[in-house]
Structure 1
Amino acid sequence: MKKIYLIAFFILWVFTYAGAQDFEYGKITGDDVELKNAAFDSNANAVVIREFGTSRIDLNDGVFSVVFMYHVKIKIFNKNGFNHGNIVIPLRIHKEVDDEVQELKATTNNFVNGRLTKTELDKKNTFKEKANKYITLYKFTMPNLQEGSIIEYSYRLNSPGIFNFRTWEFQGNIPKIHSEYEANIPAVYNYNVALRGARKLTSQKSVLFKECFQYGPHKVNCSKMTYIMKDLPALIEEDYMTAASNFRSAVYFELSHYTDMRGLEHNITRNWKDIDKELNDDKSFGAQIKKKELFKDILPQMLNGTTDETSKARAIYAYIQKNIKRNGYIGIYSENTIKTALEKHAGNTADINLALVAALNAAGLNAEALILSTRNNGTVNNLYPVISEFNYVVAKVNIGNTSYLLDATVPLLPFGLLPLHCINGKGRVINQKKPSYWYDIVASQKQTTKYVLTAKLTNEGVLKGKLTTVSGGYSALKKRERINEAGSIDQYVERLDEQMPKIKLANHSIEGLDSLENPLIESYDIEMKIFDNMNNKEFYLNPFFISRTDKNPFNLNDRSYPVDLGAAVDERLTMTIELPDNIVLANEPKNMGLALAEGAGKYQTSTSQSGNNLIFHQVMQLNKPIYSPDEYLSLKEFYSRIIQFQKTDLILKKTN
C-alpha cells in the first residue's frame, strides 16, 4: 500500500474532538445492571449496550496515519456469552510502522449481593499472535467473567496510511443497542463513502469546522461526519453464504483524491484503463504472462501430439495442474515468477495460473487472465476499480464461441470447472491487447448425485444387495477430494463404513477416479438388518436410509442475505427391493410432491409394487445457484416438510 511522506514541521494537527459523543468510561447505570436481554433480539447470549469509535488523520514519525479510538460496553447474559470476553484486535503489518494498540483500558464489572465490583485487566495478560504475513492478532481475555458481567474496554490504534480510512462495522455477531462512529476528515482529502448492508442509519449528520487543520502553510477546513445505528440484531452466519462482510451493515471509506501542500490535486480513484496498464506493466503480473518463451522447449511434451484447440488447451491445463503444486498462498500477483515455479514445481495461485495463461498463449490459443474475489473475501466494487479487493486469478481461454475458466491450482479439478470458492459474482478479464471487461462467474456444472439400490429382503429381515452411486460435477470433485484425503480407496471405504454403522459395506469398486471429466462411480455390496422379528403381521420400513435430510440448514426467522449454493443441485434415488413371496405393501403409500415457485426447485417421491418388487423413487432439485432473501422462508419450509415426510414409514404386511 502506498504511503505519503511529509516533513514533520510542515504539518500541525490542531483539529480536536469538538462535540464527540463518546460515553463516560466506567459509568455503570441501573439500566445496565437490570438489562436481561435485547428486546429486539431476545435469544442473544450477550449484547453491546453502547459502542463509540472515532477516526482522524494524524502524522506519526513522518508518515500520515489514521488514528482510531474505540470504546465499547457489553452485557454478558449467560455462560454461552463468555466467548465475547475473548477480545481480538487485528493489526496490519506494514513495511514501515505496524499498527499499534495504545492506551488500552479493560474492566469487568460484576454486581453481586448489592455491590458493584470492578476487575481491571492486567496488561501482562495481553499477547500477540501472527495470523499471516499481513496480519498480527492482539489478544486478551476479560478477567473474572460471570453471568451478568458488564465488560468495558477502550483503546487507541495508529494505522499508517490514509488510503483506506477506517471502516466501521455497525452490525456484529451479537446485537447492539447503540453503535456510533465519527469520522474527522480534513478537506484536502476526499473519500468515497459507501454504506453496505440491509440496515438503515438511525441518524447521520455532518458538521464543518473552519480552518481547523494546519496543512503546510495553509489552514484547511475539516468535516466531522457522525453515523448512528440503534437496535441492531446480530448478523447470524448460516450455511450457504458468501463473506459476512458482504451483508454486514457497515460504512466504508475509499480515498478518491487529495491535494498536496503545493495545491496540486492527485486522483487516487482511477479508471480501468489505468488499472489495465498498471497490471500489464507489473513485473509480477503482465510481465509473467508475456514469458511465452519459457514453454518453447517443453511445449511439444505438453501438447503430446494434440492438434485441435480444445485438445491443446486440455493438455496444457493437465500439464500445469500436475507439474506445479500450490504452496498455500493465494493472490493475483506472482510470488516467485513463473520460471521459478516451473523449476521448483511449486508456487502461489498466481504463479500457477499466470503460467497457464502464458503456456496457452505460447501454443497459439487465445488466453486471458481473469482476476476475482473469492467467496470468503467478499464482493468487488463495480462502480470504480479497487485492485486490493481482488485476491485470486484464473485463466480464461476462448475457443471458437466458447470460453472456459480454468484453475490449475486444484489437482482434482476437471477442465472448465472452477472451484466453488471462486464462484462469486463477477471477475475482471485482463487482456494485454484490449481493454479489460467484466465477466460473470457462474458454475459450469451442477452438484449431481444418483443412487441406485438393487436389493433383496430375506426371510430373516436382512436387506442384501448392490448400491451404486454416480457423482458428477462438484459432487464428484468432493468425492475425489475425500478419497485423496483418506490416502487410498480402501481407507476411504473404511471411513465410509464407520459413518454408516447400520449398513455393512463389502466388495467395493470405484471407477473414474482419475478420469476427471467423467462421473465417479462407486459400487458396494451392502447388508443391513431391517426387521428383528419376521413373525409380526405388519412391518414398518423407512426407505430414507440413503440420501436422508436430517437437518434443516435454514433456521432463522428472517435472513437479510441470499442463499448462495454456488451451483445448482440434482440428487436422485432409485430403490428396487425384492420382497419375500408372502410380503406386500399394506396400502398404496401417499407420494410426495413439493415445488418452489417459478421452477426454482422440487422434491418428489413415488412408491409402487410390481410383482415382488418394491420400487421407490426420490428426486431432490435446487435449480438456482442463488436464492434471494425473499425466497428464504419458502426454502426453510421446503426443507422442513422434506424432513417431516422422511419420518414416514412404508407399511408391509404378510399375505398368509
Structure 2
Amino acid sequence: MNKFLLLLFCLCATTTFAQQKFNTKDLKVTQEELIATIYEKDSTANAFYIYENGYSRFDQNADYNLVTDYEAKLKILNKEGYKNATVKIFLNKSGDRKEKLSDIKATTYTLSNGHIQTTKLIPSQIFTEENERYDEVSFTFPALSPGAVLVYSYTKESPFIFNFETWWFQEDIPKVYSRFETKIPANYNYNIKKIGSTKLYTNDQKLEKECMSFSQRATRADCVHSEYIIKDIPAFIEEDFLTSRYNFMDRIEYELIEVTQLDGYIRKYTKDWKDVDKEIERDESLGRQLKKTSRAEDLLPQAISSQPKSLEKAKEIFNFVKSNYKWNGEYHIFRDVNLKDLLKDKSGNISAINILLHNIYEEQGFKVLPVLSSTRGNGVLTQLFPVLSEFNYLILQLELDGETYLLDASEKYTAFGDIPFRALNSYARLLDFDNESKWIDLEPGGRSSITIQDSIVVHADGTASGRSEQVFSGYNAVKVRNQLDETSQEKIFNEVSNPNEHAKSSHISYKNRELISEPVTVEYDLKNDSQKLSDLIYFNPFSFRFFDKNPFQLKERTYPIDLGYARSYLYAIQITIPENHSIVEIPENQLLKLPENSGSLYFIVQKANESTINVQCRVSLSKASYAPGYYPYLKEFMSNLMTIQNGSFIVIKENS
C-alpha cells in the first residue's frame, strides 16, 4: 500500500511538472502551454509571459539608426487576463525625426478538440494615435479565450541614439524567461544600469572585431556584444508606502556618455555638474528668473520689509508669499516659468512660486539657494551623473544663523521649515552657481504624531457615550487641515478620524485649525452602539483605528517600505462601567518591538478601581524608510496591531 501511494505521488508530481515545462527557446507554441490552467510559481496570476526576446543594435543598413527586434509569447489563463492581450507601443518623435515601426505580426493560438488553431492579426486591426511628443501604436489579439497563447513580434527603428532601448524585465504579470541582446559599437560609450533586485541569470559581454563598417571612410569598428537573461521573474505588485514603482522594477537602462567620432573627436552627451550648473544658470525659464530680484522690490508690506534680518522676518516673508500667490497644480520647472505672469495672475507653477520667494529673500539680504528635486511619484534621482529630465520639482534652502531650512510656499498648511509630503524623496540637488552644486538629504526631522484621548461611560444596555480629543501634529496635521477644508461637516467624523463601525458622533469642534505652527485638535461627542450579547457586554474600547487593515499583504517585498517620515500613535482610553456591574475579563497586555529598536507596540490594560479601566495603545515607527529585510517583521507587527484594534474586548457582567 505504501509503495502504491508513493507511485501515485510520483505520477502526480510528474504530471504537474510536465504542465509547467514551457518552451523558452523561441516563439513555437506547444500543446503543454495551451493546456496549462495555472502558473505554479504565482497561483494568483491571470496571465504571464512564457518567452520574451529583444535584440537592439546600430544598423548600417538603416542609416546607422538604432534598430530593435522584439518578440514575445504570453499565456492568458482567464478572462481577467484579457487586458494583457492589448499591446501598446510608444514611438518617440521630435520635429522631423521619429521612430518607426515595421513588420508587426500577431497570432492567437487556441485548442479546439485537441487541435491547435491559429488566428492572425490583420492590418486593419492595428491603430495609431498621434500625440505631440509620441505616437501610440496599439492592437488587441483576435479570438481571445481563456487558455489562449499569444505570440507577437515587430521591429522598431529609432534615430535617437541617446535613448538606447530600455529593456523591461519586470512588468505587472510574471515572466518565465526574458532575454535582451545588444550590439553596440565600441566607440559609443554608454552608462549601463541594472535596476531592480532580481539577479541576472546570464550577464555576458564579448568584443566582436570589426563588426560595423563606415563605407564613406572604409573604416570598421569593433562592437561590444551583450546578452542579459532573467528567469522566473515575479510580477511587480504595488503596495502602500511606495515612492515610485519605476525606482525598483527590474530593467536595463542606458545613458549615452560620449561618442568617439571617426576623426578622433570625442562628442560628449552626458555632462558633469559644472557644465550643467552653467546651463541652468543661463536657462531662460529657470536661471534668468532667479536673477530677476528687481521684480521682488516693493512687494512686501512696509511692516515686514522694515524689520531687521531675523528668523521672525523670514517666517513672515514665507507666509506673505503663501497667502498672496497660489500654486496652480503644475510643476514645469524648466519651462513656462515667468514671474511677470505670477505677479499679474497671483497664480503659477511650483518654480514660479518658489523663485518669487527666493528673489524676495535675496532682495532682503537673506542667504537662499534653489534646490532641484523629484516628487515621490516621479522617481529617485540619478546621482552618478546629471540627468536633468529626472527633476520635476523646485524648493529652496534658507541659511540663517548657522541653521538651514527647506522651504516650499506652494501649500497653505505647510509650516516654515517643512516641505510637502510629495517632495519627501530622499535627496535633492542644491544649486550654487557661485561655488558648486551638491546633494542634500530631504528626510524631515522629528516625528508626526496622532494622539487620541477618549473618556467613555458604558451603560447597562451595552451602549456607551463620552468624548474624544484627537491631536494631529506634523504631516498628519497638514493632512487633517486639508481634509477639514475639503470635507463636508457630516462626513468629517468618518473620513478624518477613521471610526470603528460601532462609533458615532453628534458634535464636532476644533482647535488651532488655522494656527499651523501648532498641532490641530479635533473633538467629538461619542456614542457607541450596543455591544451586549445575552447577559454580557463585550466592549471594544477602540472607537477609532490607526489603520483600516494591514497594509502589508505580500509574501515577499523586494522594495523599501518608504513612510516618508517617522510616525507615532497614542491611544489613551478611560472607561467607566455601569453601576452594579463588574469586570469579568480584560485583554492581555502586549509588548512588541521591531529589530534594531526601529519600532514598538505597547498595549496596556489596567483596572484603576472596580469601576474604571485605563487602556493605552502606543505605536512607534521611528524610521522614515525601512529596507526590504524589515518587511516580514513589519507585516507581523501590523497584524498584531489589527488584532489589538479589532479583537480586544473588555467583558462586563451585571452583578447578581
Q: Same fold (TM over 0.5)?
A: yes
Is the 2:480–2:496 contact (alpha carbons within 8 Å) kept by the matching residues of 1? no
Per the alignment, residue 16 of structure 2 pairs with: none
Larger deviation, residues 183-192 vs 546-555: 546-555
Per the alignment, residue 642 of structure 1 pairs with: 641
Deviation for aligned residue 1:435: 0.7
Does the alignment pair 1:185 with 2:209? Answer: no
Does the alignment pair 1:320 with 2:321? Answer: yes
> Residues 68 and 331 (structure 1 numbering): CA distance in 2 closer, same or farther, change over 3 Å?
farther
Is the 2:498–2:545 contact (alpha carbons within 8 Å) kept by the matching residues of 1? no
Per the alignment, residue 524 of structure 2 pairs with: 524
Does the alignment pair 1:539 with 2:537? Answer: yes
Is the 1:563–1:627 contact (alpha carbons within 8 Å) kept by the matching residues of 2? yes
Identity of aligned residues (%): 31
- Residue segments in structure 2 that go unaligned for 5+ positions in a row: 1-23
Per the alignment, residue 415 of structure 1 pairs with: 416
Larger deviation, residues 548-557 vs 388-397: 548-557
Larger deviation, residues 282-291 vs 503-512: 503-512
Q: How far apart in 2 are the matches of 1:29 and 1:259?
A: 47
Per the alignment, residue 265 of structure 1 pairs with: 266
Deviation for aligned residue 1:429: 0.3
Larger deviation, residues 488-497 vs 119-128: 488-497
> Residues 361 and 58 (structure 1 numbering): CA distance in 2 closer, same or farther, change over 3 Å?
farther
Deviation for aligned residue 1:395: 0.9
Per the alignment, residue 223 of structure 2 pairs with: 222
SS at structure 1 position matched to 2:81: helix
SS at structure 2 position matched to 1:476: helix
Q: How far apart in 1 are the matches of 2:328 and 2:96?
A: 27
Deviation for aligned residue 1:603: 1.0
Is the 1:37–1:47 contact (alpha carbons within 8 Å) kept by the matching residues of 2? no
* Letter in structure 2 aligned against 1:385: P
Deviation for aligned residue 1:594: 0.9
Larger deviation, residues 513-522 vs 303-312: 303-312
Per the alignment, residue 463 of structure 2 pairs with: 462
Per the alignment, residue 578 of structure 1 pairs with: 576
Deviations along 1:270-320, whole A, 9 cap, x unmatched?
222112111112122221111111011213369366544222222222233
Larger deviation, residues 78-87 vs 323-332: 323-332
Q: How many corresponding residue pairs?
A: 630
> Residues 87 and 312 (structure 1 numbering): CA distance in 2 closer, same or farther, change over 3 Å?
farther
Does the alignment pair 1:555 with 2:553? Answer: yes
> Residues 100 and 514 (structure 1 numbering): CA distance in 2 closer, same or farther, change over 3 Å?
farther
Per the alignment, residue 503 of structure 1 pairs with: 503
> Residues 360 and 66 (structure 1 numbering): CA distance in 2 closer, same or farther, change over 3 Å?
farther
SS at structure 2 position matched to 1:213: strand
* Letter in structure 2 aligned against 1:556: L
Is the 1:309–1:365 contact (alpha carbons within 8 Å) kept by the matching residues of 2? no
Is the 2:500–2:542 contact (alpha carbons within 8 Å) kept by the matching residues of 1? no
Deviation for aligned residue 1:479: 1.2
551, 575, 592: which one aligns with 1:594:
592
Deviation for aligned residue 1:89: 2.7
Q: How far apart in 2 are the matches of 1:588 and 1:622?
A: 27
> Residues 68 and 325 (structure 1 numbering): CA distance in 2 closer, same or farther, change over 3 Å?
farther
Is the 1:197–1:248 contact (alpha carbons within 8 Å) kept by the matching residues of 2? yes
* Letter in structure 2 aligned against 1:258: V
Is the 1:105–1:154 contact (alpha carbons within 8 Å) kept by the matching residues of 2? yes
Per the alignment, residue 565 of structure 2 pairs with: 567
> Residues 86 and 477 (structure 1 numbering): CA distance in 2 closer, same or farther, change over 3 Å?
farther
Is the 2:374–2:392 contact (alpha carbons within 8 Å) kept by the matching residues of 1? yes
Q: How far apart in 2 are the matches of 1:546 and 1:392?
A: 36
Correspondence list, 1:138-177, <5 A: 138-177=137-176
Per the alignment, residue 19 of structure 1 pairs with: none
Q: How far apart in 2 are the matches of 1:327 and 1:99?
A: 34
Is the 2:499–2:544 contact (alpha carbons within 8 Å) kept by the matching residues of 1? no
Per the alignment, residue 82 of structure 2 pairs with: 82
Deviation for aligned residue 1:130: 7.4
Per the alignment, residue 18 of structure 2 pairs with: none
> Residues 143 and 316 (structure 1 numbering): CA distance in 2 closer, same or farther, change over 3 Å?
farther
SS at structure 2 position matched to 1:269: coil
> Residues 450 and 387 (structure 1 numbering): CA distance in 2 closer, same or farther, change over 3 Å?
same
Is the 1:186–1:213 contact (alpha carbons within 8 Å) kept by the matching residues of 2? no
Deviations along 1:296-348, whole A, 9 cap, x unmatched?
12133693665442222222222332333333332432413222222222222
Q: How far apart in 1 are the matches of 2:612 and 2:306?
A: 52
Q: How far apart in 2 are the matches of 1:467 and 1:561?
A: 38
Q: How far apart in 2 are the matches of 1:593 and 1:497?
A: 25
Is the 1:429–1:439 contact (alpha carbons within 8 Å) kept by the matching residues of 2? yes
Q: How far apart in 2 are the matches of 1:102 and 1:599?
A: 58
Larger deviation, residues 629-638 vs 416-425: 416-425
Deviation for aligned residue 1:624: 0.8
Q: How far apart in 2 are the matches of 1:125 and 1:294?
A: 56
User: RMSD between aligned alpha carbons?
Assistant: 2.7
Larger deviation, residues 623-632 vs 96-105: 96-105
Is the 1:302–1:316 contact (alpha carbons within 8 Å) kept by the matching residues of 2? no
Deviation for aligned residue 1:473: 0.9
Deviation for aligned residue 1:622: 0.8
> Residues 61 and 358 (structure 1 numbering): CA distance in 2 closer, same or farther, change over 3 Å?
farther
Correspondence list, 1:348-497, <5 A: 348-486=349-487, 489=489, 492-493=492-493
* Letter in structure 1 aligned against 2:518: N
Q: How far apart in 2 are the matches of 1:78 and 1:650?
A: 47
Q: How far apart in 2 are the matches of 1:67 and 1:638?
A: 50
Per the alignment, residue 8 of structure 1 pairs with: none
Is the 1:216–1:261 contact (alpha carbons within 8 Å) kept by the matching residues of 2? no
Is the 2:502–2:543 contact (alpha carbons within 8 Å) kept by the matching residues of 1? no
Deviations along 1:488-513, whole A, 9 cap, x unmatched?
54564586699765333222112222
* Letter in structure 1 aligned against 2:522: E
Q: How far apart in 2 are the matches of 1:137 and 1:328?
A: 27
* Letter in structure 2 aligned against 1:311: E
Per the alignment, residue 654 of structure 1 pairs with: 654
SS at structure 2 position matched to 1:355: helix
Is the 1:90–1:137 contact (alpha carbons within 8 Å) kept by the matching residues of 2? yes
SS at structure 2 position matched to 1:444: coil
Q: How far apart in 2 are the matches of 1:498 and 1:272?
A: 47
Q: How far apart in 2 are the matches of 1:605 and 1:32?
A: 53
Deviation for aligned residue 1:462: 2.3
Deviation for aligned residue 1:211: 4.8
> Residues 653 and 444 (structure 1 numbering): CA distance in 2 closer, same or farther, change over 3 Å?
same
Deviation for aligned residue 1:483: 2.2
Deviation for aligned residue 1:431: 1.2
Larger deviation, residues 634-643 vs 150-159: 150-159
Correspondence list, 1:296-307, <5 A: 296-300=297-301, 303=304, 306-307=307-308
Deviation for aligned residue 1:544: 2.5
> Residues 316 and 624 (structure 1 numbering): CA distance in 2 closer, same or farther, change over 3 Å?
same
Q: How far apart in 1 are the matches of 2:653 and 2:581?
A: 5
SS at structure 1 position matched to 2:42: coil
Q: How far apart in 2 are the matches of 1:420 and 1:413?
A: 9
Q: How far apart in 1 are the matches of 2:362 and 2:122?
A: 61
SS at structure 2 position matched to 1:586: strand
Does the alignment pair 1:605 with 2:603? Answer: yes
Is the 1:119–1:143 contact (alpha carbons within 8 Å) kept by the matching residues of 2? yes
SS at structure 2 position matched to 1:299: coil
Q: How far apart in 2 are the matches of 1:501 and 1:640?
A: 19
SS at structure 1 position matched to 2:94: coil
Is the 2:498–2:544 contact (alpha carbons within 8 Å) kept by the matching residues of 1? no
Does the alignment pair 1:94 with 2:94? Answer: yes
Is the 1:215–1:261 contact (alpha carbons within 8 Å) kept by the matching residues of 2? no
Q: How far apart in 2 are the matches of 1:355 and 1:91?
A: 38
Q: How far apart in 1 are the matches of 2:402 and 2:101?
A: 55
SS at structure 1 position matched to 2:641: helix
Per the alignment, residue 514 of structure 1 pairs with: 514
> Residues 39 and 135 (structure 1 numbering): CA distance in 2 closer, same or farther, change over 3 Å?
same
Deviation for aligned residue 1:634: 0.9
> Residues 302 and 366 (structure 1 numbering): CA distance in 2 closer, same or farther, change over 3 Å?
farther
Q: How far apart in 1 are the matches of 2:215 and 2:641?
A: 66
* Letter in structure 1 aligned against 2:165: R
Deviations along 1:523-569, whole A, 9 cap, x unmatched?
11121223356xx5432111233125442211222222111111111
Larger deviation, residues 448-457 vs 86-95: 86-95
- Residue segments in structure 1 that go unaligned for 5+ positions in a row: 1-21
Q: How far apart in 2 are the matches of 1:66 and 1:110?
A: 35
Q: How far apart in 1 are the matches of 2:509 and 2:384?
A: 52
Deviations along 1:150-206, whole A, 9 cap, x unmatched?
112222333342112111111222221111112222233211112122122211333
